[in-house]
Amino acid sequence: MDTNEPHYKVSVASCTVGFLVSVLLTAAAYFTVTEQLFAKKTTVIVIGIFAFLQAVAQLLFFLHLGQEGKPRWQTLTFFSMVTVLSILIIGSLWIMYNLNYRMMN
């Protein structure tokens, strides 16, 4: 299936959509914080969601995740990484919060 031709095709549409979505989400997050639209905890969740959405947008439109032919090694390794990342972050934060509470007060 793979030839010697580089199979990277510049998609102007993809880049443009990705750029616009990213700008919108960045602005939305920025103004949520500067205009203090919500309470502290809610703000954290809202900008967290914006960050996640923007990351998805960039993964899809800039990095073309999921658009490779079978076998989808890039997609598989990406989701494996996200799993490990989640375990590390959630695990570390849970453990360290617990330790800080019990050992540092």
Total of residues contacting other proteins (CB under 8 A)? 56
C-alpha distances in Å from residue 2, one per residue of 15, 68, 69, 70: 24, 12, 10, 11
Per-residue contact string for residues 6-25; x = within reach of other proteins by CB under 8 A: xxx-x-x-xx--xx--xx--
Q: By CB neighbour count within 10 A (0-12 exposed, 13-18 middle, 19+ buried), where does 18 fall? A: buried
Residue 26 within binding range of other proteins, rule CB under 8 A = yes
CB of 67 to other proteins, least distance (A): 13
**Neighbouring C-alpha atoms within 13 Å toward the C-beta of 65:** 12
Give contact residues for other proteins (rule: CB under 8 A): 2, 4, 6-8, 10, 12, 14-15, 18-19, 22-23, 26, 29-30, 33-34, 36, 40, 43-44, 47-48, 50-51, 54-55, 58-59, 62-63, 71, 73-74, 77-78, 80-81, 84-85, 87-89, 91-96, 98-103
